[in-house]
Amino acid sequence: MTSAEMPGERFRLSMLIYDTRYRSLTIQVIALISFMLAAAWLVNNTVQNLAALGKTFDFGFLGTRAGYDINQTLIPYTNDSTHGRAAIVGILNTFLVAILGCLLATIMGVLIGILRLSPNWLVSKLAGTYVDVFRNVPVLLWIFAFFAILTDMTPAPAAFRGDNPSAQMIFGAVAITNRGFYIPWPVLAPGWQLVVGIFALSVVAVVAFGRYARARQEATGEILPTFWIKAGLLVAPTLLADLLAGHPISFDFPELQRFNFEGGGFIDKSLIALWLALSFYTAAYIAENVRGGIQAVSRGQTEAAAALGLRPNRIMNLVVLPQAMRVIIPPLISQYLNLTKNSSLAIAVGYMDARATLGGITMNQTGRELECMLLLMGFYLILSLLISSIMNWYDARVSLKER
Amino acid sequence: MKQRFLFGSAIALVLAAGAASGATLDDVKARGTLKCGVNSGLAGFAAPDAAGKWEGFDIAVCRALAAAVLGDAEKVEFTPTTTETRFTALASGEVDVLSRNSTWTFSRDVDLKFTFAGVNYYDGQGFMVSKDLGVTSAKELDGATVCIQTGTTTELNLADWFKTNGITYQPVPIATNAEANQQFQAGACDAYTTDASGLAASRATYENPDNWIILPEIISKEPLGPLVRQGDDQWADIVRWTLNALIAAEDYGITAANADEMATTSENPEIKRLLGTEGDLGAMFGLDKDWAKRAIQARGNYGEIFAANIGEGTPSNIARGLNAQWTDGGLIFSPPFR
């Protein structure tokens, strides 16, 4: 260990400890070396133990045939596909439940957080009870509870059979069974792109018109009948396109066959149970964030808005919530991350997420524990970083602009 | 100082590496208990009884092994494992032996680096359905929803079998047998598939066992048996020959009750070798003379274990079938003790 000598003073080794100029550096160097040694030891130990067990470290298994089936897939997959594709199916399923969960949890959380502050005693106490009940029971139990409820409270497909069935399809289109929900599913004939494209353009037009109307209102004070124009913009061109293309989009309805409903779309019970449980659980936390955020907005703001004659819901939407967002969003990020990571409990109800395919069946069939776990950890790490960077970007957008 | 640090970590490395491949027998003896990985609950095979004590067909293997190695059939620490966690538990050294109706396959034996110590139950994968469904053959299950324990060979067999027969199915993966039974009985799946023995054991626990039928098709070979980590031949030999001792004991008519008597009165040299009155087989793999006698006395010979836990008259009510002794037309066979 060498160190630059001070001019005119002889450097002694003891100065590394007793001289405050060097001490912190010395401590940091020692800490760094210890850390690197510990890391090296861990890696070396793993390598040696793998060698002792006669195992290699190899990701080649990802290219071999998986051989198992997955019940809910977003991309085409059969048991002839590779383990790598099975992992992607699982990863997409994780994305699916995470996105659905974050959406529902946010909507419910904001609603309940606001209700908790309601002046109505019953409403605020109900919201408070919701938060307490959902926050203080482990999420795994909620997942099991929702799964059990769906299993026991919904009819089996056989109940829809016969002349006088004990269960009915909703509007003859949706069947809620203890296997999952069977729903109508769009069938796309050639020309569907036109209809969908026109519809997307209509949405853009609606947004653009909204901005124009607001700018005009701010400039001239004239209020346009935005609702009817927006509704017309949204519906009319799409209907016209549909007519021109000859109704390219039709729906396939589920029909009861020998064992199951066939046709249409199928949402597995495990996905619904997991989605609801994660959303309800996380919503309780988000509700508390929202309540805290709203309470962080000075009372004077509300009173000032009221003095200007704004109605309570406009005060909330225009004055309180925009300011509260700055307080709400940072903890919201961690709730989204929690929800995403909690989705790895999916295997408890047999939902095939990344943990269940890559870290479950694939790991079990190939015996590549270390490789699978590393991949899985890498995946969750990347996903979490992705979510937090998106949310940080959003936070930067809504945060107080200092001019 | 830095050098000493390195030296220290080098020692730690050697120790850690040694622990992974060290002699399991010495570890078990030093610990005083045998760590046995078992099913988290399968009636007749591995389940806690009314008093909370683990008993069953697979448990008996662990008990016999503990009796042979430690001299006490009760010195077993049971670790319930799911189909998903079992191999990791064994590979990581969390358990010394896995006796958990696991199928002996090439890739598990070779690629997963385990050693199967033998077969204690010849099984095959079957299907169970509700009688109301009116299905008499598994080939009629086109389009059915099938409950299956995830991470098992049955999962792969199922995919292969449906594919071979050109029919489709909807899998419902489930982590444990108990949960699968719950889903199956609630009608969340049309059929439940696992080893036929497991189906029989499950059906025995249902409220009305007669309302459920096990379909005639057996779609795979499932030789089930205890397994250990590869690389410790001494320990693998102990497990293998403890199981063989139980099988040989039935062959020779040695039971838990008459083992002591047979040891002294029998004129058959093979029985004498097995029970330790002649020669010293046990010393060859680090045990004493009476190891096999104690193993037999733990829960009886193979036939007694079968009859007590899963045989005819028990709730599982399984016939010996393939699991009869070779002399009775079955596949159960022990190499000679010589």
Domains contained in chain B, CATH given: 23-122+223-328 (3.40.190.10), 126-220 (3.40.190.10)
Cα separation, A225 vs A154, in Å, equals: 45
Residue A154: the pLDDT is 87
pLDDT at A280 over 90: yes
Residue B22: the pLDDT is 54
Asked if B159 and A67 come within 8 Å (Cβ–Cβ), the reply is yes
Contact A175, A181 (CB under 8 A): yes
Tell me whether A360 touches chain B (CB under 8 Å).
yes
pLDDT at A365 over 90: no
Residue B111: the pLDDT is 84
* ipTM for the predicted complex: 0.75
pLDDT at A2 over 90: no
Find the CB nearest A158 among B17, B112, B187: B187
Average the pLDDT over B200-223 and give the result: 89
Asked if A360 and B20 come within 8 Å (Cβ–Cβ), the reply is no
Number of A–B residue contacts, CB under 8 Å: 132
Terminal Cα-to-Cα distance of chain A (whole angstroms): 50
pLDDT at A316 over 80: yes
pLDDT at B36 over 50: yes
Residue A174 has a CB neighbour count (10 Å cut-off) of 15
Which residues of chain B neighbour A26 with C-beta distances below 8 Å? none
Find the CB nearest A259 among B150, B160, B190: B190
Which residues of chain B neighbour A347 with C-beta distances below 8 Å? 84, 150, 175
Which 142-161 residues of chain A touch chain B by CB within 8 A?
151-152, 156-158
pLDDT at B13 over 50: no
Asked if B112 and A33 come within 8 Å (Cβ–Cβ), the reply is no
Tell me whether A204 touches chain B (CB under 8 Å).
no
Position A4 confidence tier, pLDDT thresholds 50, 70, 90:
low
pLDDT, tens digit, 9 for 90 and up, residues A161-178? 877 777 778 777 888 888
Q: Give the tokens for residue B207.
A: 């409220």
CA distance B171 to chain A (A): 6
Question: What burial class does residue A309 get, using C-beta atoms within 10 Å of its C-beta: 0-12 exposed, 13-18 middle, 19+ buried?
Answer: exposed
Radius of gyration of chain A (CA): 29
Per the document, the length of chain A is: 403
Short-list B113, B107, B123, B333, CA closest to B224: B123
pLDDT at B12 over 70: no
Asked if A352 and B173 come within 8 Å (Cβ–Cβ), the reply is yes
Which residues of chain A neighbour B91 with C-beta distances below 8 Å? 53, 367, 369
Asked if B20 and A71 come within 8 Å (Cβ–Cβ), the reply is no
Max distance between CA atoms of chain B, in angstroms, equals 78
Per-residue H/E/C for chain A: CCCCCCCCCCCCCCHHHHCHHHHHHHHHHHHHHHHHHHHHHHHHHHHHHHHHCCCCCCCHHHHCECCCCCCCCCCCCCCCCEHHHHHHHHHHHHHHHHHHHHHHHHHHHHHHHHHHCCCCHHHHHHHHHHHHHHHCCCHHHHHHHHHHHHHHHCCCHHHHCCCCCCCCCECCCEEEEECEEEECEEEECCCHHHHHHHHHHHHHHHHHHHHHHHHHHHHHCCCCCHHHHHHHHHHHHHHHHHHHCCCCEEEECCEECCCCEECCEEEEHHHHHHHHHHHHHHHHHHHHHHHHHHHHCCHHHHHHHHHCCCCHHHHHHHHHHHHHHHHHHHHHHHHHHHHHHHHHHHHHHCCCCHHHHHHHHHHHHHCCHHHHHHHHHHHHHHHHHHHHHHHHHHHHHHCCCCC
Which residues of chain A neighbour B173 with C-beta distances below 8 Å? 71, 350, 352, 356, 361
- Helices then strands, each counted (H, E), chain B: 13, 13
Asked if A54 and B230 come within 8 Å (Cβ–Cβ), the reply is yes
Find the CB nearest A33 among B2, B151, B230: B2
Tell me whether A257 touches chain B (CB under 8 Å).
yes
State whether residue B307 is helix, strand or coil. helix
Position of tokens 């003891």?
A14
Q: Give the tokens for residue A92.
A: 């997409």
Question: What burial class does residue A357 get, using C-beta atoms within 10 Å of its C-beta: 0-12 exposed, 13-18 middle, 19+ buried?
Answer: buried
- As a whole-number percent, the residues of chain A with pLDDT over 70 amount to 97
Per the document, the length of chain B is: 338
Position A402 confidence tier, pLDDT thresholds 50, 70, 90:
low
Cα separation, B102 vs B90, in Å, equals: 12
Position A193 confidence tier, pLDDT thresholds 50, 70, 90:
confident
Question: What burial class does residue A36 get, using C-beta atoms within 10 Å of its C-beta: 0-12 exposed, 13-18 middle, 19+ buried?
Answer: exposed
Residue A145 has a CB neighbour count (10 Å cut-off) of 15
DSSP state of B258: T
Which residues of chain A neighbour B174 with C-beta distances below 8 Å? 350
Question: What burial class does residue A86 get, using C-beta atoms within 10 Å of its C-beta: 0-12 exposed, 13-18 middle, 19+ buried?
Answer: buried
Average the pLDDT over A77-94 and give the result: 92
Position A317 confidence tier, pLDDT thresholds 50, 70, 90:
confident
State whether residue B6 is helix, strand or coil. helix
Asked if A45 and B17 come within 8 Å (Cβ–Cβ), the reply is yes
Contacts 24+ apart (CB under 8 A), A95-98: A95/A383, A96/A271, A97/A271, A97/A274, A97/A275, A97/A278, A97/A343, A97/A346, A97/A351, A97/A353, A98/A339, A98/A340, A98/A343, A98/A383, A98/A387
pLDDT at B188 over 60: yes
pLDDT, tens digit, 9 for 90 and up, residues A5-44? 555 567 788 888 888 888 888 889 999 999 999 999 998 8
Residue A403: the pLDDT is 60
Which residues of chain A neighbour B229 with C-beta distances below 8 Å? 53
Terminal Cα-to-Cα distance of chain B (whole angstroms): 58
Asked if B151 and A45 come within 8 Å (Cβ–Cβ), the reply is no
Cα separation, A147 vs A149, in Å, equals: 5
Asked if A68 and B156 come within 8 Å (Cβ–Cβ), the reply is yes
Position of tokens 């330790």?
B276
Average the pLDDT over A189-206 and give the result: 86
Burial pattern B6-45, b for ≥16 Cβ within 10 A else e, equals eeebeeebeebbeebbeebbebbeeeeebbbbbbbbbbbb
Average the pLDDT over A66-95 and give the result: 91
Average the pLDDT over A343-359 and give the result: 90
Average the pLDDT over B244-248 and give the result: 95
Residue A253: the pLDDT is 85
Tell me whether A258 touches chain B (CB under 8 Å).
yes
Which residues of chain B neighbour A157 with C-beta distances below 8 Å? 187
Average the pLDDT over B101-120 and give the result: 91
CA distance A351 to chain B (A): 8
Position A106 confidence tier, pLDDT thresholds 50, 70, 90:
very high
Residue B296: the pLDDT is 95
Find the CB nearest B159 among A68, A157, A367: A68
Q: What are phi and psi of B25, to 5 degrees?
A: -55, -45
Cα separation, B314 vs B308, in Å, equals: 7
Residue B271: the pLDDT is 93
pLDDT, tens digit, 9 for 90 and up, residues A211-263? 888 888 888 888 777 788 888 888 888 888 888 877 778 888 888 888 888 88
Contact A369, B88 (CB under 8 A): yes
Position B107 confidence tier, pLDDT thresholds 50, 70, 90:
confident
Cα separation, B206 vs B226, in Å, equals: 28
CA distance A385 to chain B (A): 29
Asked if B143 and A260 come within 8 Å (Cβ–Cβ), the reply is yes
Average the pLDDT over B273-286 and give the result: 90
Asked if B190 and A260 come within 8 Å (Cβ–Cβ), the reply is yes
pLDDT at A338 over 60: yes
Residue B19: the pLDDT is 43
Nearest CA in chain B to A266: B170
Asked if B187 and A45 come within 8 Å (Cβ–Cβ), the reply is no
Average the pLDDT over A50-79 and give the result: 85
Short-list B161, B159, B167, CA closest to B141: B167
Amino acid in the structure at residue B145: T
Find the CB nearest A360 among B113, B151, B183: B151
